[in-house]
A and B are shown apart, each in its own frame.
Chain A
């Protein structure tokens, strides 16, 4: 199956100069964990996720997430978030961006998602963003096609 037939047809994205306050508003209102970062021509230049932000502003937080000091670290995290609210996405985004073409198939997408431990994979046509694919979508499609076959 081609990626264009299973991708989420949403091109919500941010510019590299978007600040963290706006980014968090977008993630929260869209109920997503990360977005592609694009330039003015809609070419994907990076990806930013909640994970990237937390890792940058409080590196220890993700390591101690299972420990009993989580609460104090959480308070620290919220303070740091406020301090960083006007910083730009380009400071935190992952620039080694992994994308997939809409004509590729679900096997390539699943491989890229699993091997790179990422949740959302931007889909491009001539380098411009046309959608996003997630592992959940791939699993859903595979499940549906299995049900049809059986």
Chain B
């Protein structure tokens, strides 16, 4: 079983309008909602790769129950701590004419010390039945910035592989505890460890710095479809070459899911694991709305992944 942690899940509500007019009456043609949050998206992709997955975090109120119900009915196991507040919603207004997506995102409910204590207890127990855990996404109000570092320590005590995919200080604090794999989340800011990532050279430098700071494997994305993968001994370049990409929004989460699956399946070579994770990202990017729903879709994308091993580790 692979666990995912989503501390700040959301109910994503997608409103389709013909053309969004500000300060005006807008008719909504279609409404749909889905459980959202980075860890939850990772769980959905893991499930599609035919692995059992359990998702943990905080939910509350009616929205929280909708999130839970959707996940369970799609075959994902849940073990959320229910808080007093209400799970946040993300309103996405899809202007179909111009293909604009306007996101109105709530901060999330307050998490108390009591909630955190109960969550740590759940997390610790669930680790006893997992091979890997992914720690992804933003922190809701009340959650300390060292939360991921604590979760990494607990998982390591139970010999569970940890995959950290976060931004800013939460990522940097997590690195101190030596996660198995670390991938900075660069959605909001193209910067990590005080450096910008604009090209391959920057990505290589950062990936090597991440491994030096404690991660066994570092994955750094750049120019949307390219990644640098570093270990203490090896350095790899990976990219996808497909011309029908329609949606890159969930691709990073699918990549994390692919890494979690491939690195947990012991028979996979490291180079195969890189290819599989890139193929998972591509399978997600080829779909306009929902995530891919079979392992076959991922395997069909493998021919469109190019990887290259650098012969000599680049000196920093």
Question: What is the CB-to-nearest-CB distance from B188 to chain A, in angstroms, rounded to a whole number?
Answer: 32
B308 within 8 A of A: no
Asked whether B72 lies within 8 Å of A9 as measured between CB atoms, the reply is: yes
| CA A86 to CA B121, docked complex, whole Å | 18
Residue in chain A with minimal CB distance to B60? A29
Contact yes or no, A42 B75, CB < 8 A: no
**A145 / chain B contacts, CB cutoff of 8 Å:** none
Distance A22 CA – B76 CA, assembled complex (angstroms): 26
Classify chain B's interface size.
20 to 34
Contact with B along A1-41 (1 / 0, CB 8 A): 00000001111110100000010001001110000001011
Q: Which of the four size classes fits the interface of chain A?
A: 10 to 19
Which of these, B118, B121, B126, contacts A11 with CB under 8 Å?
Answer: B126
Contact B77 A42 (CB under 8 A): no
A8-B72, A9-B72, A10-B68 known; A42-B126 Cβ under 8 A: yes
Q: Is the CB of B77 within 8 A of A130?
A: yes
A87 interface residue per 8 A CB criterion: no
Residues of B within 8 A of A130 (CB): 77, 129
B82 in contact with A11 (CB, 8 Å): no
B11 to chain A, nearest CB (A): 17
B78 near A9 with CB under 8 A, answer yes
Q: A131 to chain B: which residues have CB within 8 Å?
A: 77
Complex Cα spacing A41 to B72, Å: 22
CA distance in complex: A42, B124 (Å): 10
Smallest distance from the beta carbon of A99 to chain B beta carbons, Å? 15
Is A128's CB within 8 Å of the partner chain B?
Answer: yes
The reply on B79 being an interface residue by CB < 8 A is: yes
Give chain B residues whose Cβ lies under 8 Å from the Cβ of A30.
82
Q: Please, how many angstroms separate the alpha-carbon atoms of A9 and B1 in the complex?
A: 13
Answer yes or no: B128 CB below 8 A from chain A CBs.
yes
Question: Binding site of B, secondary structure by majority: helix, strand, loop or mixed?
Answer: helix
**Interface residue? B54 (CB, 8 A):** yes
Given A26-B82, A29-B82, A30-B82, also A40-B128 (CB < 8 A): yes
B128:A9 contact, CB within 8 angstroms: no
A40 to B127, CA, bound (A): 9
- Are B72 and A42 in contact (CB-based, < 8 A)? no
B125 CB-CB contact with A under 8 Å: yes
Q: Which residues of A contact B129 (CB under 8 A)?
A: 42, 128, 130
User: Which residue on chain A has the smallest CB distance to residue B75?
Assistant: A9
User: What residue of chain B has the Cβ atom nearest to residue A131's Cβ?
Assistant: B77
Contact flag A12-B79 (CB < 8 Å), given A42-B128, A42-B129:
yes
Q: How far is the CB of A16 from chain B (nearest CB, A)?
A: 12
Chain B residue, CB-CB nearest to A26 = B82
B9 to chain A minimum Cβ distance, whole angstroms, is 15
Q: Mark B105-132, 1 if CB is under 8 A from A, else 0.
A: 0000000000000100100111011000
Within 8 A of A (CB), among B121-163: 121, 124-126, 128-129
Closest Cβ of chain A to B3, distance in Å, is 11
By a CB distance below 8 angstroms, the chain B residues around A15 are 121, 125
Which one, A10, A13, A22, A128, contacts B78 given CB within 8 A? Answer: A10
- Is A40 touching B68 in the complex (CB atoms < 8 A)? no
CB closest residue in chain B, given A129:
B129
Known interface pairs A8-B72, A10-B68, A11-B54. Does A40 touch B124 (Cβ–Cβ under 8 Å)? Answer: yes
Shortest A2–chain B CB gap in Å is 13
Interface string of A59-97 (1 = CB under 8 A from B): 000000000000000000000000000000000000000
**Contact sample, A vs B, 23 pairs, CB 8 Å cutoff:** A8-B72, A9-B71, A9-B72, A9-B75, A9-B77, A11-B77, A11-B78, A11-B79, A11-B126, A12-B80, A15-B125, A26-B82, A29-B60, A30-B82, A31-B65, A40-B125, A40-B128, A41-B125, A42-B126, A42-B128, A128-B128, A130-B77, A131-B77
Enumerate chain A interface residues (CB-CB to B < 8 A).
8-13, 15, 22, 26, 29-31, 38, 40-42, 128, 130-131
